[in-house]
Chains A and B, each alone.
Chain A
Amino acid sequence: MAAATQDSAIRTGRVTRTLIYLVLILFALFYMLPLYVMMVNSVKPLSEITGGGMMSLPDVWTIEPWKKAWSTAQIGVEPTGLRPYFWNSISMVVPAVAISTVLGALNGYVLTKWRFRYDTILFGLMLFACFIPFQIVLIPMAAVLGFLGLAGSTAGLVLVHVVYGIGFSTLYFRNYYAVFPTELVRAAQIDGAGFFQIFWRILLPSSGPIAVVCIIWQFTNIWNDFLFGASFASGNGAPMTVALNNLVQSSTGVKEYNVHFAGAILAALPTLLVYIVAGRYFVRGLMAGSVKG
């Protein structure tokens, strides 16, 4: 079902087409608006913003707000800038994405190629876990993390994100492996390959696209998470999103909007880059959760 299937059937007049283009461009501007506001105001002095020039290009270009947001802005009680929190997020995201993806791949493999009784029900339970409002687990999770001595730590957040990420990663790999020919697995069994050999030598080499989808999805979700970060790691171990919120919401001193915008872009940059580089895969991941794979 490739693109350009319907135009042969549907014809539109010149006026209609002009209107359609107009609407599409207006919406494009609407979607670009916040990004434009953030960009343009992160490189101008504060006085230009408060003076009513939020929509105009800077009179004086400056990267001071970026520097300040990155290394000297007041986050909570310390003037550390967002830098340490950026690294917090990195060291949380990398292991969490890696672990949840590996587990998801193995789960998807088992659930499609080694089916057993009630496997669909078990998968349904895993899938439902993706959609619960996480408020329902906040209290016991806080208690357990406290009990394990992981409260406020990156390790604790990794655990949380792995647990609540495997539902989706399993979904991706399951849907992908479901259409992977089972005869290949049988042939490999007859050839004498074991459970892990089949996975490693037969399935994994063909799993590139879905692995990319899964990694991008998990990366975006975990990087952008705020609820878990705010609940379990609000101090020095906080991730980027929590630190940004602290920066923006701090009630002391002058509101440095330009620094806020610079900080917001810093927090958005990794996921935005991923989107620009591999947007196609991101969209595929987005759709897999909703439309039949």
Chain B
Amino acid sequence: MGFLDIDNATKSYGSVEVLHKVDISVEEGEFLVLVGPSGCGKSTLLNMIAGLEDITSGQISIKGAPMNGVHPSKRNIAMVFQSYALYPNMTVGKNITFGLEMHGVPKTERDAAMAKVADMLQIGQLLDRKPGQLSGGQRQRVAMGRALVRDPDVFLFDEPLSNLDAKLRVDMRTEIKKLHQRLGTTIVYVTHDQIEAMTLSTRIAVMNGGYVQQLGTPKEIYDTPANLFVATFMGSPSMNLIDVAIRADGNAVYADTTDDQGRKVSLAFPAPGAALRSFDGKTVKLGIRPEALTDVDGADQRSSHVEQIENTVTVTEPAGSDTFVTTTIGGAECVGRMRSDADVAAGRAATFAINMEKAVAFDPQTEDRIA
């Protein structure tokens, strides 16, 4: 049993089921990120943990105590909202201590707790201001202060960075990560931004259509996505998907496709399993991350299976640190990630190195990963 247990939690509005038997067990000190497109049920799940939405069936428990029907304020949780939800009529100081006041904490203790949090977040000079006088980043800090001061068992974050501009978002992301490392509290964090999910979490639950598609560490999610949805949702630019024919030849298994000149290309899988072998003669979707489709010098030198193909570059997009190169393999438009000084130009041929150690294959019918 974990610290926060979500056990077969289901949510329906009338006859419409929006969350289907979600099962997640979170250990103490974990940073769990719920990620998915809008409408996937991630915020609903967070609200159910908070007690802001009823649990239709199943159970959610914190430290072994079932929380179904328990009022949000009695769950010893704290939440940071997307809009920050700072009380507009109260000063920053009042905002931070309001929860303590509601829980009957004496004023001296409240002030001490506030001072500690203000110090930690460096918002001491803002305590007498109203939220309307603060910048976006300052509001974000105050909202976190309000959550921290309660010293809760579980922190809930509902897309807390989505209202910030790009630079501030990166800064605050680091800030949150530092805070988690320092305090070691349990965090459940909702976002639709897969980079936030990757950078912050110890574990990620990728959600879609009210189902948890995959639950795992960022590395597991990224390297071995459970299905096509997870593969394409996580990672930017998105994973390249090429229709290939599987051909078993003795111990080796090849993915057969064509380059943009119509020439046949055979890519060998490094360690083919029985599952892959059973697709002999059938078509599957081969998934290759952009960084596994690169220039020859940029290819992973430790990889044992790097295949090379000659192909025409259709578009180059220099991004400073890297250059994204578009080409066509097996009829599918693919994006490769090359070193910024790679010698490529649109309309010219270039050599692409494909790292087959990182390649994955999906069953086109079930969309689940085969290998």
Direct contact of A and B (CB under 8 A): yes
**Which A residues have a C-beta under 8 Å from some C-beta of B?**
181, 183-184, 186-193, 197, 201-202, 205-206
Given A183-B83, A197-B102, residue A190 in contact with residue B88 (CB < 8 A):
no
Flag if A190 contacts B79 (CB, 8 Å): yes
Interface size class of B (residues with CB under 8 A): 20 to 34
Flag if A206 contacts B82 (CB, 8 Å): no
Contacts of A183 in B (CB 8 A): 81-83, 85
Flag if A191 contacts B99 (CB, 8 Å): yes
Determine which residue in A181, A189, A190, A197 has the highest number of CB atoms from chain B within 10 A of its CB, and name it.
Answer: A190
- Our pick among B81, B83, B99 for the contact of A192 (Cβ within 8 Å) is B99
**Which B residues have a C-beta under 8 Å from some C-beta of A?**
47, 50-52, 71-74, 77-79, 81-83, 85-90, 98-99, 102-103, 146, 150
Ranked 9 nearest A-B pairs via Cβ: A192-B73, A191-B99, A192-B102, A205-B89, A183-B85, A187-B85, A183-B81, A190-B72, A189-B72
Contacts of A193 in B (CB 8 A): 73, 98, 102
Flag if B83 contacts A190 (CB, 8 Å): no
Given A192-B73, A205-B89, A206-B89, residue A186 in contact with residue B52 (CB < 8 A):
yes
Main DSSP-derived SS at the A contact region? helix
Contacts of B79 in A (CB 8 A): 186-187, 190
Contacts of B72 in A (CB 8 A): 186, 189-190
Q: How far is the CA of A201 from the CA of B98 in the complex (A)?
A: 10
Q: How far is the CA of A184 from the CA of B143 in the complex (A)?
A: 11
Contacts of B150 in A (CB 8 A): 191
Cβ of B160 to closest chain A Cβ, rounded Å: 12
Given A183-B85, A202-B87, residue A192 in contact with residue B103 (CB < 8 A):
yes
Flag if B73 contacts A187 (CB, 8 Å): no
Given A191-B102, A192-B99, A205-B89, residue A186 in contact with residue B81 (CB < 8 A):
yes
- List 14 A–B pairs whose Cβ atoms lie within 8 Å, in order of A's numbering: A183-B81, A184-B86, A184-B87, A187-B79, A187-B146, A188-B87, A188-B102, A190-B73, A190-B79, A190-B99, A191-B102, A192-B73, A192-B103, A197-B102
Cβ of B66 to closest chain A Cβ, rounded Å: 18
- Our pick among B74, B77, B83, B102 for the contact of A181 (Cβ within 8 Å) is B83
Contacts of B81 in A (CB 8 A): 183, 186-187
Cβ of A290 to closest chain B Cβ, rounded Å: 29
Contacts of B146 in A (CB 8 A): 187, 191
Flag if A189 contacts B52 (CB, 8 Å): yes
Determine which residue in B47, B78, B98 has the highest number of CB atoms from chain A within 10 A of its CB, and name it.
Answer: B98
Q: Which residue of B lies closest to A193 (CB)?
A: B102
Flag if A191 contacts B73 (CB, 8 Å): yes
Cβ of A109 to closest chain B Cβ, rounded Å: 15
Q: Which residue of B lies closest to A197 (CB)?
A: B102
Contacts of A202 in B (CB 8 A): 87, 89
Flag if A191 contacts B77 (CB, 8 Å): no
Given A183-B82, A184-B85, A202-B87, residue A191 in contact with residue B98 (CB < 8 A):
yes
Q: Which residue of B lies closest to A194 (CB)?
A: B102
Contacts of B85 in A (CB 8 A): 181, 183-184, 186-187
Cβ of A217 to closest chain B Cβ, rounded Å: 24
Flag if A188 contacts B98 (CB, 8 Å): yes
Cβ of B45 to closest chain A Cβ, rounded Å: 15
**15 extra interface residue pairs, beta carbon distance < 8 Å, beyond A181-B85, A186-B50, A205-B89:** A183-B82, A183-B85, A184-B87, A189-B52, A189-B71, A190-B50, A190-B79, A191-B98, A191-B102, A191-B150, A192-B103, A201-B87, A201-B98, A202-B87, A206-B89
Contacts of A184 in B (CB 8 A): 85-88
Q: How far is the CA of A184 from the CA of B146 in the complex (A)?
A: 13
Contacts of A192 in B (CB 8 A): 73-74, 99, 102-103
Cβ of B83 to closest chain A Cβ, rounded Å: 5
Contacts of B74 in A (CB 8 A): 192
